[in-house]
Amino acid sequence: MSTVSKPAPRELPVNELDELLANYPFGNSEYVTSQLHKCYKRRLASMSDRLPVAREILDALDHTDPYTCYRVMGDTVFRCAVQHRHVQIEDGIPYGMPAERCHAILNGAVQNLENEVPGLIGPTLSDRVGPEPFHGWVWSEDGPDTLFTEAFRSIVDAHYGLTLHTPSDDEKTVLADAVRLLDEVLPNVSRSVLSHTHLVAVFSPSGRWATTRSSSEFRISGTIFLSQRTLSNVWALAEHILHESLHQQLYDIRAGHTLLVPDFARAEAPLVHSLWNMPDATRGNYWDVHRTLAAFHVYAHLALFARAAREPAGDKQYAARYGPVEMVGPNTALARAHYLGDQLRQQCWAELGLAGRQMVDWLHSVLEVVDSNPIVQGSFVHLLLDRYWRESSMVRSMAAAHTVDAELLPQFSRLLEGELDCARSVLKTIGYDLTSFEEALDSIGNEESFERFASVRGLIAETLLRACPDRYALSSSGAADDRVRRMVEDSSEALRKLLGR
């Protein structure tokens, strides 16, 4: 019996993909928001017998305009008040804000709904990230103190403990440019995704937040947090706004759909190793199913954004207006997305609800038409070398800033020699000609320094990637790939200890 081979997926143009992603149910903001509202109305209805203000809110929602409903129910303080009071009533335990503050916020929500005031925090602020109705407000520390702004500060302090910052006029301009860039590159996706971000808060990069570029939290949905450091480059900022707004979209999807099984966060639940992230003492590079799904969702979209930004015509047009492209590359985003999708299917399928599985299947189909050149399933060397390369850059930057102890240099050098031995052995095993590698190594020199450490590591990573026949797998047996895995993992752990991370 003859068989018919399945044709390779056709790579779709950016404008078709932009429309496709925004119109599928999980990318359709109107659908997702309507399901979210149903969820909050159910919670309010379940409390209405014991909490009269819940019934008042439901009545007010039925009699006000859709935009006011959208902004009030998207407000972080409103959501927290409903969620906290719901847990307090249903479980009979202290949780979140005191009951009195929750009641005051909910009473205020009734008044705003009745007076058609669109939101709780937003109307007290003067700036938004863009001119469209779906664009969110920008938090300011200089605004008036109200019940809602005080509640927001208390929520942020309880969950994050970071210092909020009022953007300068120049920083507001960069914010507006980043949002305008997103709207130009991916107009449909941008409109859909940004509609889930009702508030943008900038924080000062200090203390444990010094290296964090952006953040979101499921329990503080509706707000994204951006480091002041990101407000210096339009492309990097656009990437972080898209990234965190995609998280907000996923949080809203999760509220109204069975993305995850009820006990997905149990202690023995499977974890996915994010190979490109550096290890730390808390094993923060091992992710639960929710974080893995969230990252998969983000990287599938970032792959399209990065591809659109680097298309020849687009690059010339956008670069002229917004400067050189500085963001994750399309190949990097695609590689991470494919890996996470595979891990969700292999390790976490039982942790996903019906909607979660449908979402993984949908995003997988999207990846096939974002880039028709398939990644070798199960490959991982490229992801590990991504980390290896970034570790090298980190050491170079730390040395330039004199934040790494020079007395540790001999230990760095010994670590590097072991990595060189392993790299040479792997390359010989797969029959790779080492001539150009050795010549490049000679040009770097033998003088012991942190700069040499970073440069040689970069050469190792570049050569191993070049040695991959398809740039993803070193050998069909996987033996050479496993040796590189052990080298990178062992080196990362040794480097972590040397740097006290």
Q: pLDDT digits over 232-273, tens only?
A: 999 999 999 999 999 999 999 999 999 999 999 999 999 999
pLDDT for the residue 154: 96
Q: Which two tokens stand for residue 77?
A: 């303080």
Q: If pLDDT is split at 50, 70 and 90, which confidence band does 378 have?
A: confident
**pLDDT for the residue numbered 318:** 85
Alpha helices by DSSP H, listed for 225-329, are 234-256, 289-310, 312-322
pLDDT, tens digit, 9 for 90 and up, residues 414-469:
999 999 999 999 999 999 999 999 999 999 999 999 999 999 999 999 999 999 87
- What's the confidence (pLDDT) of residue 10? 65
What integer best gives the mean pLDDT of the chain? 93
> What is the C-alpha separation between 230 and 321, in angstroms, rounded?
18
Neighbour tally for 191: CB within 10 Å: 17
Contact assessment for residue 172 and residue 127, using Cβ atoms and an 8 Å cutoff: yes
182: CB partners within 8 A, 6+ apart: 190, 194, 238, 241, 242, 305
pLDDT band at residue 1, thresholds of 50, 70 and 90? Answer: very low
Give the pLDDT score at 314.
Answer: 63
- Give the C-alpha separation, 362 to 355, whole Å: 10
Residue 144 C-alpha from the chain's centroid: 32
Going by pLDDT thresholds of 50, 70 and 90, the confidence category of residue 125 is very high
CA angle centred on 140, ends 53 and 247, rounded to 5°: 70
Above 50 in pLDDT, residue 289?
A: yes
420: exposed, middle or buried (C-beta count within 10 Å: 0-12, 13-18, 19+)?
middle
| CA proximity to 369, closest of 24, 20, 10, 15 | 10
315 confidence band (pLDDT: 50, 70, 90): low
Share of the chain above pLDDT 90, in %: 83
Does residue 4 carry a pLDDT above 70? no
The 10 Å CB-count burial string (b at 16+, else e) for 357-385 is: ebbbebbbebbebbbeeebbeebbbbbbb
pLDDT for the residue numbered 245: 98
With CA atoms as reference, report the closest residue to 337 among 365, 310, 369, 364. Answer: 364
Q: What span, in angstroms and rounded, lies between the C-alpha atoms of 333 and 299?
A: 5
pTM greater than the 0.85 cutoff = yes
Q: What is the DSSP letter of 135?
A: P
d(CA 27, CA 358): 13
What does the DSSP 8-state code read for residue 234? H
pLDDT band for position 2 (50/70/90)? very low
Distance separating alpha carbons of residues 61 and 36, to the nearest angstrom: 14
pLDDT score at 5: 43
The pLDDT, as a whole number, for residue 471 is 63
- pLDDT (tens digit per residue) in 361-374: 999 999 988 887 76
| Phi–psi pair at 260, nearest 5 degrees | -130, 155
Structure-token pair, residue 170: 């120049």
Q: What is the mean pLDDT of residues 349-366?
A: 96
Is the distance from CB of 463 to CB of 437 less than 8 angstroms?
Answer: yes
SS3 content of the chain, % helix, strand, coil (to 5): 65, 5, 30
Domain boundaries, the chain: 15-253, 258-370, 381-499
- Give the mean pLDDT of 136-162: 95
Q: How many CB atoms lie within 10 A of CB 448?
A: 12
Q: What is the 3-state secondary structure (H, E, C) of 322-380?
A: HCCCCCCCHHHHHHHHHHHHHHHHHHCHHHECHHHHHHHHHHHHHHHHHCCCCCCCCCC
Average pLDDT value for residue range 329-335: 91
| Least confident window among 117-126, 319-328, 384-393, 488-497 | 319-328
